[in-house]
Chains A and B, each alone.
Chain A
Amino acid sequence: MSVAVAINKIEKRFGTLRALDGISLQIVEGEFFGLLGPNGAGKTTLISCLAGLVRPDAGRIAVHGHDVVGDYRAARRLLGVVPQELVFDPFFSVRETLRIQSGYFGIRRNDDWIDEILANLDLTAKADVNMRRLSGGMKRRVLVAQALVHKPPVIVLDEPTAGVDVELRQGLWQFVRRLNGKGHTVILTTHYLEEAETLCGRIAMLKQGRVVALDTTSNLLARFSGQTLHLRLANAGRLPAALRDIGTENEEGVWTFHLATIGEMEPLLTGLRLAGCMIDDMRLTQTDLEDVFLGVMKGGDDQKIKALQ
């Protein structure tokens, strides 16, 4: 498998803010790749560098071997980017928008493919409607359609389902999965971690402009294999210090502990009993990507993740 996107030591500063701090990644052709991280981690800046919207201070990015700065024409033809913001040109209908976008990529007669995209995104009935008259979800679909008019081998989706209803989300993912099945490389950023867990074969987690975890989704989940224990103490009780160090507490006062085996629960409960803590509520779940994400973000690097295990 050849490399679809090669990101090499990319750095970008905005004033004193170091938005990207030497990021290197290789995304293989045909991958469904997830880019996760909290707000401000640098996901959109990285995608903007890839798309040529932001010029990096150092490092280089290539799409199928074409440098996004030096050989931008070839690189951009290979990329279809769905921007995060819900933007549209209010002067045109859906079909006009897609025809114009095709022309920008050097394609003159593209109506067959445009019709196919419209049908797949359930937009056929809206083809001649002005963009202003579409709902937010419909506009989002048109953004996806615009990114696909030139049949790009690499599709980049920056938070494509933010604010989108469940039905559209499902439909969109079916379509994108089908494109991925046909060999398109897909790069996705999302806040919906269950979405990334279901769709992405490999995931990079970013924090403060650096990659803090990079592995297959299954390996990431395996790092935190076992169960997750969520518990809340009665009477606003305080955990003993030894337990505080290995757990994380959310704003609602619920503590989360990762258990490699179920056998680790007994010593934990014993610790609570000895400290005189009363349990108000308790739940045991399988580890999911959210637990991994929280663990990685708390740890900051792989060494700390391993220590947490």
Chain B
Amino acid sequence: MIGFRTLLYKETLRFWKVSFQTVAAPVLTALLYLMIFSHVLESHVQVHGVAYTAFLIPGLVMMSALQNAFANSSSSLIQSKVTGSVVFVLLPPISYIEFFLAYVAAAVLRGLMVGVGVFLVTSWFALPMFVAPVWILVFVVLGAGLMGALGLVAGIWADKFDQLAAFQNFLIMPLTMLSGVFYSIHSLPAFWQHVSRFNPVFYMIDGFRFGFFGVSDVAPETSLLVVGTSFVVVSAATLALLRSGYKLRS
């Protein structure tokens, strides 16, 4: 357990030492989104009977948490692979399960910190309700955990920074941006509503938002099932990769 705790501590200390870039910057980005979109849409749009700015805040919180959870595990791993310092983790008696848990837990921690940061700065503009706080916590932890595991997969697979950037820009960004952060999927044409239902991030955002307002596009139980199943599947795949030593132990 000391190995796991140390690796978690090291992963947390790593992002905390550059927190201006890893926490403050995404908080600022989310704030800019909020200022622009709420300025344009506040007086025109209401979703589920909620004012647009209040509706947008949980979406931005969750999107930032998810993107940063992914960024944490993926960038840490690719950096240590490229510089070679990954040997410091591969030489000690740390099991692949401890490795997985430490990287994912650190990713969740960064996701939560960014999420809280985004919430604190955006709640100046509108204060959402907290109808069901347990749902909020469950969805953000599961969602960030899933993204942390996906970040590990990307970090293991990528040999160069541009491969990781491709993963981030062409998979993670569209999945998170087109997940109902900025809109309810009921406002989309039927075809795109149908497509959105294949995006697991949609269920993360929708379930998370349910915790604030008590209303959502789909039932939170359904979202929990989708997000929970996705988490289990991605985690199992990541653990299998780590166990095989793919691209880490040749």
Q: Which residues of A contact B (CB under 8 A)?
A: 14, 48, 51-55, 72-74, 76-77, 79, 81, 83, 85, 87-92, 96, 100-108, 146
* Residues of A contacting B88 in the complex (Cβ-Cβ under 8 angstroms): 87, 89, 100-101, 104, 146
Decide if B249 touches A105 in the complex (CB within 8 Å).
no
* Residues of B contacting A48 in the complex (Cβ-Cβ under 8 angstroms): 250
Q: How far is the CA of A72 from the CA of B94 in the complex (A)?
A: 9
- 8 A Cβ contacts from B160-181 to A: none
Quick check: is B218 within 8 A (CB to CB) of the other chain? no
Nearest CB of B to A182, in Å: 22
Decide if A81 touches B91 in the complex (CB within 8 Å).
yes
Quick check: is B90 within 8 A (CB to CB) of the other chain? yes
Quick check: is B245 within 8 A (CB to CB) of the other chain? yes
Decide if A87 touches B85 in the complex (CB within 8 Å).
yes
- 8 A Cβ contacts from B165-210 to A: none
* Residues of B contacting A103 in the complex (Cβ-Cβ under 8 angstroms): 2-3, 5-7, 9-10
Q: How far is the CA of A53 from the CA of B88 in the complex (A)?
A: 11
Segment at the interface with A among B13-21, B23-31, B131-139: B13-21
Q: Which residues of B contact A (CB under 8 A)?
A: 2-3, 5-7, 9-10, 13-14, 17-18, 80, 83-85, 87-95, 245, 249-250
Q: How far is the CA of A102 from the CA of B5 in the complex (A)?
A: 12
**A100 and B9 contact, Cβ closer than 8 Å, known pairs A55-B250, A76-B93:** yes
Decide if B85 touches A53 in the complex (CB within 8 Å).
no
Q: How far is the CA of A122 from the CA of B249 in the complex (A)?
A: 33
Decide if B17 touches A54 in the complex (CB within 8 Å).
no
Closest to B244 in A: A55
Closest to B16 in A: A91
The 10 closest A-B pairs by CB, nearest first: A103-B6, A104-B92, A87-B84, A73-B93, A76-B93, A106-B2, A89-B85, A87-B85, A100-B10, A85-B84
**A107 and B2 contact, Cβ closer than 8 Å, known pairs A72-B93, A76-B92:** yes
Q: How far is the CA of A87 from the CA of B95 in the complex (A)?
A: 22
Q: How far is the CA of A228 from the CA of B204 in the complex (A)?
A: 77
Decide if A101 touches B14 in the complex (CB within 8 Å).
no
Decide if B80 touches A89 in the complex (CB within 8 Å).
yes
* Residues of A contacting B2 in the complex (Cβ-Cβ under 8 angstroms): 103, 106-108
Sample (30) of A-B pairs whose CB atoms are under 8 Å apart? A48-B250, A51-B91, A52-B90, A52-B249, A54-B250, A73-B93, A76-B92, A76-B93, A79-B91, A81-B87, A83-B84, A87-B85, A88-B83, A89-B83, A89-B85, A91-B14, A91-B18, A92-B13, A100-B9, A100-B10, A100-B88, A102-B6, A103-B3, A103-B6, A104-B3, A104-B6, A104-B88, A104-B94, A106-B2, A108-B2
Q: How far is the CA of A91 from the CA of B249 in the complex (A)?
A: 24
* Residues of B contacting A106 in the complex (Cβ-Cβ under 8 angstroms): 2-3, 93
Q: How far is the CA of A300 from the CA of B93 in the complex (A)?
A: 38
* Residues of A contacting B13 in the complex (Cβ-Cβ under 8 angstroms): 91-92, 96
Q: How far is the CA of A103 from the CA of B6 in the complex (A)?
A: 5
Q: How far is the CA of A108 from the CA of B10 in the complex (A)?
A: 13
* Residues of A contacting B90 in the complex (Cβ-Cβ under 8 angstroms): 52-53
Decide if B87 touches A87 in the complex (CB within 8 Å).
yes
Partner of B83, one of A14, A87, A107: A87
- A88-B83, A101-B88, A105-B93 known; 19 new pairs, CB 8 Å cut-off, are A52-B90, A53-B91, A53-B249, A53-B250, A55-B249, A55-B250, A73-B93, A81-B87, A81-B91, A83-B87, A91-B14, A92-B10, A104-B6, A104-B93, A104-B94, A105-B3, A105-B92, A106-B3, A146-B88
Q: How far is the CA of A198 from the CA of B132 in the complex (A)?
A: 73
Decide if A53 touches B87 in the complex (CB within 8 Å).
yes
Nearest CB of B to A189, in Å: 16
Partner of B249, one of A54, A88, A100, A107: A54
Nearest CB of B to A75, in Å: 8
Q: How far is the CA of A238 from the CA of B17 in the complex (A)?
A: 67
* Residues of B contacting A91 in the complex (Cβ-Cβ under 8 angstroms): 13-14, 17-18
Q: How far is the CA of A52 from the CA of B95 in the complex (A)?
A: 12
Closest to A74 in B: B93
Q: How far is the CA of A76 from the CA of B93 in the complex (A)?
A: 6
* Residues of A contacting B7 in the complex (Cβ-Cβ under 8 angstroms): 103-104
Residue of A91, A96, A107 with most chain B CB atoms under a 10 A cut-off: A91
Residue of A74, A102, A105 with most chain B CB atoms under a 10 A cut-off: A105
Residue of B84, B88, B90, B91 with most chain A CB atoms under a 10 A cut-off: B91
Decide if A88 touches B89 in the complex (CB within 8 Å).
no
Q: How far is the CA of A290 from the CA of B245 in the complex (A)?
A: 39
Q: How far is the CA of A199 from the CA of B167 in the complex (A)?
A: 50
* Residues of A contacting B85 in the complex (Cβ-Cβ under 8 angstroms): 87-89
* Residues of B contacting A108 in the complex (Cβ-Cβ under 8 angstroms): 2
Q: How far is the CA of A105 from the CA of B2 in the complex (A)?
A: 8
Closest to B5 in A: A103
Closest to B98 in A: A104
Q: How far is the CA of A149 from the CA of B171 in the complex (A)?
A: 41
